[in-house]
């Protein structure tokens, strides 16, 4: 309900104001998100997004995007949902595409993964026989520790909401470096699965497991586990149609 949402935002602002983390003396709307759930209210036409509003149809022009055109003209189906998000003077549009694939695999061929803090062990079975063991050193645990020390040094005795602190934290590029490593390992696993027509088996970690890890470990160790092992397993579990 709009009233409940307004009350929740007002309470959150008052908490920030008490902690000295509010930028202004009154709440401000800095980001607006709009979701269109029916494609009868929007559509792509001639390099623009047509939107139905309370004042009629309007058009949002978008920049040329090679990835968008590749999805539009290569057999992908555009979903009926559109999400819009304001970002300063720009509007970011989120489009979803779907496509059906025919999956063929040999059930006697399996790629098994053991994801640890600093490495990933890949075991390949062909015709129910162990054929290959590959160990990939990711050093994600060491990266998490190094960036944690860097963040503490930058933010020591300073608020993390300050513009100068946030700019220095962004320059660390921790997320980009970890994502690059995970994508490279995931690409290797996917290539193995495609070449051998295998399924990929990985340990199942859900939200309950994450909560147990958070409650059983101290803060620093928990951060290493969540940032390294848990996120790695989440990334590898979305490799593609070969995943069990």
Instruction: To the nearest 10°, report the CA torsion of 42, 43, 45, 49.
Output: 50
Per the document, the length of the chain is 244
Rounded Cα distance between 233 and 81, Å, is: 28
pTM of the prediction? 0.52
Rounded Cα distance between 126 and 85, Å, is: 47
The pLDDT value recorded for residue 209 is 54
The pLDDT value recorded for residue 240 is 41
The pLDDT value recorded for residue 242 is 34
Per-residue DSSP letter, 117: S
Residues sharing a CB contact under 8 Å with residue 112, sequence separation 6 or more, in sequence order: 122, 123, 124, 125, 200, 201, 202
Per-residue DSSP letter, 77: E
The pLDDT value recorded for residue 220 is 53
Domain boundaries, the chain: 28-98, 110-236
Alpha-carbon radius of gyration of the chain = 23
Structure tokens at 119: 């490495």
In 36-49, which positions are buried (b, 16+ CB within 10 angstroms) versus exposed (e)? Answer: beeeeebebeeeeb
Picking from 26, 244, 213, 14, the residue whose alpha carbon sits closest to that of residue 117 is: 213
Rounded Cα distance between 115 and 2, Å, is: 44
Q: What is the pLDDT along the chain (244 residues), one digit of tens a residue?
A: 567 777 888 888 888 777 777 777 777 777 788 899 988 999 998 888 999 998 899 998 888 788 888 888 888 999 999 999 987 788 899 999 998 877 788 888 988 888 887 888 888 999 988 888 888 888 887 877 777 777 777 777 666 556 777 777 777 777 788 888 888 888 888 888 888 888 888 776 655 555 555 555 555 544 544 454 444 545 454 444 333 2
The pLDDT value recorded for residue 10 is 83
Taken in order 36, 92, 185, 225, the sign of the CA dihedral is negative
């Amino acid at each position: 309900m709009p009233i409940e949402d307004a009350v929740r935002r007002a309470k959150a602002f008052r908490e920030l104001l008490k902690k000295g983390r509010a930028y202004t003396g009154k709440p401000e709307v800095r980001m607006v998100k709009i979701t269109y759930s029916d494609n009868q209210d929007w559509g792509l036409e001639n390099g623009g997004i047509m939107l139905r509003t309370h004042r009629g149809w309007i058009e949002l022009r978008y920049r040329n995007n090679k990835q968008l055109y590749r999805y539009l003209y290569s057999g992908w189906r555009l979903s009926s949902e559109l999400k819009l998000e304001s970002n300063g003077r720009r509007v970011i549009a989120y489009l979803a595409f779907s496509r059906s694939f025919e999956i063929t695999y040999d059930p006697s061929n399996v790629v098994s993964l053991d994801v640890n803090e600093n490495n990933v062990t890949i075991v390949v079975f062909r015709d129910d026989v162990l054929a290959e063991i590959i160990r990939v050193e990711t050093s994600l645990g060491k990266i998490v520790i190094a960036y944690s020390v860097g963040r503490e040094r930058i933010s020591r005795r300073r608020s993390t909401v300050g513009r100068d602190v946030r700019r220095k934290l962004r320059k660390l590029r921790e997320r980009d470096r970890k994502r690059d490593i995970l994508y490279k390992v995931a690409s290797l696993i996917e290539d193995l699965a495609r070449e051998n027509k295998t399924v990929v088996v990985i340990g199942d970690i859900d939200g309950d497991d994450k909560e147990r890890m958070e409650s059983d470990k101290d803060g620093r160790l928990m951060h290493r586990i969540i940032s390294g092992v848990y996120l790695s397993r989440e990334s590898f579990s979305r490799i593609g149609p070969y995943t069990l």
